Structure 1
């Protein structure tokens, strides 16, 4: 099971706190905007790409990574601890 909490959704940003419980997943989706992920709880999740490729993603509290729009994947928690992170999507860059 995965759950989300919308923190901000305005004309420039969408910020969501995600929790993926052990055995849970965020269904396959395509990122419409550039985005960054900031770790909240130390954990590991798996990105499963449309072609079946799997990538291990380490979530570290206070550390972040950024990706460009267009990424398509399913995110899975195969561990025993909850995966918790904040996702920041940039809808429109500042002019």
Structure 2
């Protein structure tokens, strides 16, 4: 299985913005989200999330964003036959 490619565009005290690119079959590797986050797909694709509770499949549509709370633990992979990409926006704790 190949590794998804991550490009960090912004990383400051408030947010981290990362572009993730997945070839067919590529995965992020198991990880935990320490912050609430928003994912914005850049194109269509079939995303598989593998977590302790099981596996889920989600159809990605360009621009159709979704939000998740901190604490999610999973591996994410491209379950389709074509590459796809999305932008992940992590909402870091704000001071005060």
Listed as ranges, the gaps of 5+ residues in structure 2 are none
Could you say which residue in structure 1 is the equivalent of 2:38? 36
Could you say which residue in structure 1 is the equivalent of 2:7? 5
Listed as ranges, the gaps of 5+ residues in structure 1 are none
- CA deviations over 1:56-84 (Å, ceiling 9, x no partner): 12211111000000000000112111120
> Size of the alignment, in residue pairs?
94
TM alignment of 1:1-95, pairs within 5 A: 1-51=3-53, 53-93=54-94
The separation in 2 between residues aligned to 1:74 and 1:81, in whole angstroms, is: 19
> How far 1:94 sits from its partner (Å)?
7.5
TM-score, normalization by structure 2 = 0.91
TM-score, normalization by structure 1 = 0.92
Task: State the Cα RMSD in Å.
Answer: 1.3
Structure 1 residue ranges (4+ consecutive) displaced by more than 4 angstroms after TM superposition: none
The separation in 2 between residues aligned to 1:50 and 1:19, in whole angstroms, is: 24
Q: Higher strand share goes to which structure?
A: 1
